[in-house]
Chain A
């Protein structure tokens, strides 16, 4: 773990598990939400593509909560994480 990084848990929804080896929960070292996405992508290449749009923002119908706080509307680089945080990734309730 490098300076400025924290140990956080990331919880994935059912729809993403096929891109993550079938797992639903990971512990990663990350200082920001962007770090956490990069850490996941290092383990499972392509997972970042499923989460981020072409501009590096969270995809339109992806919700992200750090503990209970919604952060998907923020730049992932700007979302600071601290030890013990849990990042919940959730598909928004949308569509038909």
Chain B
């Protein structure tokens, strides 16, 4: 005896389940057959000496359903998997688990994961997201990545500087999250596990504290730097309006020391912590620059070093710190704005829920709601978790999650999404997803994951930022050598400034300090992640979930969009389209058909019933309902036999259908399912039902055409039907009669023609095609946002969002390019000027003041952030 599970596509209801099970049971040798339309499978027990699996599959296929062969991608995507070194546990949606073992000497973990994902399954690893503090620039993020990557058991690390997150894949048998926190703390940063709502609140508070701290630092630096600058410059330039007391070296020393001790301390502490662990970051550049200016000034104050050393540079040190602290304040402020989307999403969640306990309502924290609890929501209240309505009628505003402005009507059986707003009536619903499983929690996770993922374009920025600090110190050293040994004498600096005014050391030192100060790895490091943060955040606000920078980059290179037909361009559920009366009126024919289908669970029957109800037809009960699988139904109404079904059913009942053939074929050729209605073995009419187009499909295709895309449709329908539908929506290329398993190879064919293809599908049946395409776009259903096979998920189930998502991708990538251009341009122009390249060519000789360099440096990262924030104001509609 053998037990098998056969994957089946096309089962839509209990009736289909029955048909499949019957088909399998009818095979000789099959002892038991149970099918489940929700799981899309049939479990069959059979005697292998009497029959074989192929015969059973054929019988099921002959009953009108598609059998999915082994090795094909399962239509149910794998949700998550834990990956110890030797065993993977794959947890499928629906609770099916599968353990994999592999030989790590023959295949690497990454190769194994790739093999699974290439089959259309998703593999979620043991991942942890840590909140990282005290990062000041992209170099800090790279320092943490380097330290973690060196650690055994860590398979991948992504540290986002603007998001202050580290996303780490790891082997739990070798390392744990507390170990990783220790490693991060060991290199001079703080780390903690996150994330729930209270963490988000804490994070918000921490950000506010940082803004406050930098604002206080800036005010102190400003208050001290103004008299220092007046005093120092007043003395050097003989400004008579400056009181003599301010020109006093000892007073300037005290004021400058206060600047170094309070607002400036953070740079020296940061440098010390980094150097202790062999790490260099932005702090080192600032500490070296300001420290050198301050030290030289202190030496000049307390030692007699000669005429040229009578000048102090306290103003340089103070102004440098003032401008850099101003930059940090503005950066902390604007960075907070970029992560607003996630905070807004987190803030959407309800704090409490009212559940029924022993027949009475009880208010509990939302975290305490359990699966299957009955939750009561009154008008004006937030729906606390995801669930299914059991009682009541209401309209729910889902705009906060889906972007859909119109409230959605909910009755018993409707699904409700946590964090949406109940508008009109009181409802009771059964909690189906709680905690981390709710749609909101999944959206937040998806957006956060996307924001911590690096775009390929960031590689260049990372390479630059990774070696930036070192390169700048080398340049500062070279500039110092050049001006000390060659430039000072060759370009007659003493002649220009006067010998008593400067010395080779001081002149070269100031140039070297300016090089250190003007260099800004922050702008380079921020350019990409900050644009991805804002782009993905804006997407989430509009019901478009983009899974990371790679998807963004690929989306802007697309030239062909392939739509799956059923459920994507069409509604995916049949609707009544034609009623043709042969005897009596159309409404009489429809009434008879609807009465007959009243007891049917079949989607076609439901469509007829719905059509009749919409036309206000009264539907009395019939007697003796009998479903004839694969053919139709039979009932008795007012003593007369009513039949509705196929040609075969009518022929078997002795009716001649030849006169109807032409009309039937015409209906079928236009993609409709035609049924014949008969009363007392006399044909009275025909009814046609079809999967109708979504209202937005035509507009979506038109918009894509306007954007210059070639649009194709892929379907299993015959060519004539597919052409008819494609014509209605204006699609130029039709890939018809494509079996579900062949959709991926059709996409591959298009790619081999050199096209960059996006596949738009429902994310479940189209998983292999979505995976094969350059960008898989899944049309979600509000709650199902964790579609693994897609890189972009459209929550709203609106195909018009395809063009919006592509527009958003283009916009984000343009912003990344702009940011990178400005960051590189700023550094590649600023550093040579700071090195004194203009000095020989200008008259009077031009040298960049270190304080101006500090202001420019502070401005560069703020400019990148502000430029990115402009994206928030752009509308995605056009």
* A, B: real partners: no
Residues of B whose CB lies within 8 Å of any CB of A are: none
Residues of A whose CB lies within 8 Å of any CB of B are: none
